[in-house]
Amino acid sequence: MSRTPDDIHDELLVLKCQESDRDALRSLIQRWHPRLSRLAWRLSGQREQTQDIVQDAWLAIVRTIGRLDDPARFRTWAYRIVANKCADGLRRRVVQRRGVDEIRHAAKAKRSDGLRADRIGDETDALRNALSKLTDEQRAILSLHYLDELQLSDIARLLNLPVGTVKSRLHSARSRMREVLERKRP
């Protein structure tokens, strides 16, 4: 994978952060906060908690950036920290799962009360519904590959898995998504 000017700029910012340059840290946060927020939202599925997750991740990043040996690995490293913070939040929310299921049921009932969205809204709802049927791991692999455009090798490092396992899980996630979407078609 070739390095872009943005990649090189990020590496420079990381190096400066490792030298305690506050301006570089501010720039790094400005550049990466939106991406880390999107990842946290996709992995956690909890809009309300996304900013807390990302804030915790930034605290961990700032505390440990000096130990990052290869600044070129910042993206994968930061994504892994966010993924770990999401997993921590998921473990805390296991008890609340029943409440989430009730909210989903209420949303389905509201959609079926005779109000129909336009075609794009229907497709969006179908995709959201299909994504909700996937496991957290399947949603994560799909979003890392298709939305964040990470290579399989980067996803493997991020999730601490062999590349072959990532390929297999990506295939399974796509198959499950297709299966759910096809069941919904008339």
Predicted structure pTM score: 0.59
Determine the structural domain holding residue 18 and report its residue range. Answer: 1-115
What's the pLDDT at 123?
67
Same domain, 79 and 107: yes
Per the CB < 8 A criterion, the answer to whether 155 and 142 are in contact is no
Same domain, 92 and 149: no
Count the domains in the chain. 2
Alpha-carbon distance of 82 to 53, in angstroms, equals 7
Mean pLDDT by 10 residues, the chain (186 residues): 86 95 95 94 81 93 94 93 82 49 53 48 70 79 78 81 89 87 70
The two structure tokens encoding residue 108: 């389905």
What's the pLDDT at 114?
45
Q: How far is CA 21 from the centre of its chain?
A: 28
Domain containing residue 181: CATH number: 1.10.10.10
What's the pLDDT at 109?
55
Same domain, 75 and 123: no
What's the pLDDT at 19?
94
What's the pLDDT at 34?
95
Domain containing residue 13: CATH number: 1.10.1740.10
What's the pLDDT at 93?
53
Alpha-carbon distance of 126 to 155, in angstroms, equals 26
Same domain, 104 and 19: yes
What's the pLDDT at 105?
53
What's the pLDDT at 122?
62
Alpha-carbon distance of 128 to 158, in angstroms, equals 25
